[in-house]
A and B are shown apart, each in its own frame.
Chain A
Amino acid sequence: MANESTFPEVIAEEASSSPEARIQRQPLVLNKRNFSWITERITGVVEQRAPRWWWVTFTFTATIASIGLFCLGYQISTGVGTWGLNHPVGWAWDITNFVFWIGIGHAGTLISAILYLLRQKWRTSINRSAEAMTLFAVMCAAIFPGIHVGRVWMAWYLAPLPNNYGIWPNFRSPLMWDVFAVSTYFTVSVLFWYTGLVPDLATLRDRSTTKIKKFLFGIFALGWRGGNRQWRHYEMAYLLLAGLSTPLVLSVHSVVSFDFATSVLPTWHTTIFPPYFVAGAIFGGFAMVLTLMLPARAIFKLHDVITPAHVDKMAKIILLTGSFVAYAYAMEFFMAWYSGNQYERFAFYNRVLGPYWWYWWVGMFFCNFISPQLFWFRWCRRNVFVVYFVCMCVNAGMWYERFIIIVGGLHRDFLPSSWGIFHATWVDIWTFIGTLGIFTSLFLLFVRFLPLIAMSEVKIVVPEADPHYDVDLASHHPVGAGGMERNQ
């Protein structure tokens, strides 16, 4: 682990190479790996016996998950009174967790859809696991609005179904928009993810040794055989799904922010919320992608596929979106002052110096604003420990941010006589920790049973995948095309 933190071989290579070589792009797959190396390394993760660390970690996370499920059962059977919600704070950890999880999902869609449309080829080595992360995060998110309605068995009222009371939902309500946005987002993410998986499931099918694996991978690979007459329609579908997911992902967190922005509460009633929430979602989501991918690549030895350049680029995106978020924080304060509205001014004064002051100083100020500034420095972006530290800060900071927005906005509104403080109960706390367990358990199952890197897509970014890559020509121009030895 220690010698991977500075990547000496890469830095040395860059320093020693000629000026000609230095202006060349860094290869996306290091050490000139060929197609079958990619297949072997990635299917190897699935085909090997589950290592001991996997069982230990999975047992731990599954235990946490079952505590979470117990809390859900307890809350459903007893009532929402098991949470610390009371007047004036009627939304607290439940909606904080909902926004936190749904935000994490957004990075996966950004990587799989928006970076695809922008022709960012480096996305290929992280998009599969980032999309899986999206699905699991949205599952965790969906728990909270589902159960905070109180009587869960009445949740079907959210759906516009004809019923014998003759009543219908209010389609102009942001909460109704939320139902449609989140369910559409989850469904489209599943379709996109599965579409991307089919060629890789075919790889696993063709390599399976046992009957049951052959049967299961065979069923789900749909009989894929990689004919160009298939790829032609497949690629068009992939492009269109990416094109559809792009506005979709922007709409989802915008709709989530409308839950707040369409109300009249100081700090909530603001037009900056949709872009502010979307930027924050991508910021927090990228941190979570790195949180999962850095251990995965160390454990499964995927350094040639998830290279230092990949980590570097993701760190830059964290810096960029973190700057959007910091700008939004600053603009909120400016608007509070500039509006001249005393409630708005007080709310922001209260945010920094009120009872929840340290949430702001630690969460929003230090974790979300100060810590990503390290990514201005190349050394920090290339040091996995620094990257991991910043990602952990951002993970925590984004949870704090949502808590401050929600509880900070509610606990002191217009009338001082109705002010109050929120106290979380053990059910609040363990339900949230439980969703962390559900999330990590699902991710562990994913890396165990499905290819965590999109093989068919990584193969495209290897130089010899280009139909104009001529082996004979390349051997005469080693700088231009990568040299003959790639094919060996």
Chain B
Amino acid sequence: MRTPSGHKVYAMAAEYPTPHALYEAAKAVRDAGFKRWDVYSPFPIHGMDDAMGLGKSWLSAVVLAGGITGLLTAVILEFGPSWILYPLIVHGKPYTWRTVPAFFPIMFEATVLFSAFAAFFAWQIMNGLPRWYHPMFNWERFKRVSNDGFFLAIEARDPRFTEIEARELLERTGGQHITIVHED
């Protein structure tokens, strides 16, 4: 979809005055059946996932996988050298599974370390970051999103998107400064 002046359309967007207004608008857009849209706010709004019809984030599964990897890495890292490569008797104590509690602290630390890295990279990759360019940044008002602006954008690639319907919906929910955001 292109505008008369030849710009590719990314989305129809509006600004809302308060988190409350944005929350109510999100419910209306969800009920209208749109799938490719997002709300933008300077802070996470409590209950917005439900208002948008989004489920629980599956990031926790990635972190669990990271944690298990960390634990297994530590087990191999500790028992490989201690048991096979370089058996070392200290205090006359065995170096095998018989003294396994003494190996626990490093297993624990490695589990936490790998889980934390998994969480850190997962939230970026799942969010498509780092991505320094985005069509929303073409809208001058959007600068306020990191200050006190609350925005809603319905993307043009949504199968239900028509310029008229999207604009009408945003108007009806109290959106202000309704505009088309260009792709380029």
A233 touches B148 (CB 8 A): no
Interface centre among B42, B124, B136 (most CB of A within 10 A): B42
CB of A170 within 8 Å of the partner chain: yes
What residues of B have a CB within 8 angstroms of the CB of A467 in the complex?
19-20, 22-23, 45-48, 51
* Cβ-neighbour of B42 out of A226, A234, A466 (below 8 A): A226
CB of A187 within 8 Å of the partner chain: yes
CB of A416 within 8 Å of the partner chain: no
Contact of A160 with B105 at beta-carbon distance under 8 Å, contacts A226-B41, A244-B115 already known: no
**Complex CA–CA separation, A459 to B54 (angstroms):** 23
**Complex CA–CA separation, A227 to B81 (angstroms):** 47
B-contact bits for A210-229, CB 8 A (1 contact / 0 none):
00000000110011111111
B38 touches A228 (CB 8 A): yes
User: Of the 9-residue stretches A5-13, A126-134, A174-182, A383-391, which lies at the interface with chain B?
Assistant: A174-182
Within 8 A of B (CB), among A324-351: none
CB of B3 within 8 Å of the partner chain: no
Q: How far is the CB of A161 from chain B (nearest CB, A)?
A: 10
CB of A3 within 8 Å of the partner chain: no
B-contact bits for A368-383, CB 8 A (1 contact / 0 none):
0000000000000000
CB of A251 within 8 Å of the partner chain: yes
**Complex CA–CA separation, A468 to B48 (angstroms):** 11
**Complex CA–CA separation, A230 to B132 (angstroms):** 14
* Cβ-neighbour of B90 out of A172, A188, A231 (below 8 A): A172
What residues of A have a CB within 8 angstroms of the CB of B127 in the complex?
229-230, 233-234
What residues of A have a CB within 8 angstroms of the CB of B133 in the complex?
223
**Complex CA–CA separation, A225 to B85 (angstroms):** 50
A455, closest chain B residue (CB) = B42
A176, closest chain B residue (CB) = B106
Contact of A166 with B60 at beta-carbon distance under 8 Å, contacts A172-B93, A191-B116, A248-B112 already known: no
**Complex CA–CA separation, A241 to B110 (angstroms):** 14
A-contact bits for B97-118, CB 8 A (1 contact / 0 none):
0010011011011101101110
A171 touches B78 (CB 8 A): yes
B-contact bits for A27-39, CB 8 A (1 contact / 0 none):
0000000111001
CB of A55 within 8 Å of the partner chain: no
**Complex CA–CA separation, A171 to B81 (angstroms):** 9
A240 touches B119 (CB 8 A): yes
Contact of A229 with B38 at beta-carbon distance under 8 Å, contacts A184-B113, A460-B44 already known: yes
A-contact bits for B130-143, CB 8 A (1 contact / 0 none):
11111011000011
Q: How far is the CB of A277 from chain B (nearest CB, A)?
A: 14
B18 touches A469 (CB 8 A): yes
Q: How far is the CB of A263 from chain B (nearest CB, A)?
A: 12
**Complex CA–CA separation, A470 to B101 (angstroms):** 56
**Complex CA–CA separation, A218 to B81 (angstroms):** 45
B146 touches A205 (CB 8 A): yes
**Complex CA–CA separation, A160 to B142 (angstroms):** 50
**Complex CA–CA separation, A241 to B133 (angstroms):** 27
* Cβ-neighbour of B40 out of A222, A226, A237, A469 (below 8 A): A226
Contact of A227 with B39 at beta-carbon distance under 8 Å, contacts A180-B109, A187-B116 already known: yes
CB of B122 within 8 Å of the partner chain: yes
**Complex CA–CA separation, A319 to B136 (angstroms):** 49
A465 touches B116 (CB 8 A): no
A177 touches B113 (CB 8 A): no
Within 8 A of B (CB), among A134-157: none
B-contact bits for A236-264, CB 8 A (1 contact / 0 none):
11001100110110010001001000000
A459, closest chain B residue (CB) = B43
What residues of A have a CB within 8 angstroms of the CB of B142 in the complex?
225
Number of residues of chain A lying within 8 A (CB) of chain B: 71
**Complex CA–CA separation, A237 to B42 (angstroms):** 18
CB of B88 within 8 Å of the partner chain: yes
A218 touches B132 (CB 8 A): yes
CB of B77 within 8 Å of the partner chain: yes
Q: How far is the CB of A481 from chain B (nearest CB, A)?
A: 11
User: Of the 9-residue stretches A77-85, A195-203, A402-410, which lies at the interface with chain B?
Assistant: A195-203
Interface centre among B52, B116, B132 (most CB of A within 10 A): B116
**Complex CA–CA separation, A120 to B74 (angstroms):** 34
**Complex CA–CA separation, A224 to B124 (angstroms):** 10
CB of B126 within 8 Å of the partner chain: yes
* Cβ-neighbour of B129 out of A35, A180, A188, A223 (below 8 A): A223
**Complex CA–CA separation, A226 to B148 (angstroms):** 11
CB of B69 within 8 Å of the partner chain: no
**Complex CA–CA separation, A457 to B123 (angstroms):** 18
**Complex CA–CA separation, A220 to B41 (angstroms):** 19
**Complex CA–CA separation, A165 to B122 (angstroms):** 39
What residues of B have a CB within 8 angstroms of the CB of A218 in the complex?
132
B132 touches A228 (CB 8 A): no
B153, closest chain A residue (CB) = A227
B129 touches A181 (CB 8 A): no
B147 touches A188 (CB 8 A): no
**Complex CA–CA separation, A182 to B130 (angstroms):** 29
**Complex CA–CA separation, A329 to B64 (angstroms):** 40
* Cβ-neighbour of A236 out of B41, B78, B105, B123 (below 8 A): B123
CB of A168 within 8 Å of the partner chain: yes
Q: How far is the CB of B24 from chain A (nearest CB, A)?
A: 8
Contact of A237 with B146 at beta-carbon distance under 8 Å, contacts A225-B40, A468-B20 already known: no
Interface centre among A187, A195, A240, A244 (most CB of B within 10 A): A240
Contact of A228 with B112 at beta-carbon distance under 8 Å, contacts A168-B81, A223-B129, A459-B43 already known: no
Within 8 A of B (CB), among A454-485: 455-457, 459-460, 464-471
A191 touches B46 (CB 8 A): no
Please provide the 6 A-B residue pairs with the shortest distance between their CB atoms, ordered closest to farther.
Answer: A467-B23, A237-B123, A35-B148, A168-B81, A172-B102, A222-B130
A–B complex contacts, Cβ < 8 Å, 23 sampled: A34-B148, A39-B147, A160-B81, A168-B86, A180-B109, A191-B117, A202-B146, A222-B124, A222-B132, A224-B129, A226-B146, A229-B38, A229-B54, A233-B59, A233-B126, A236-B56, A236-B60, A455-B42, A464-B18, A465-B19, A465-B43, A468-B23, A470-B20
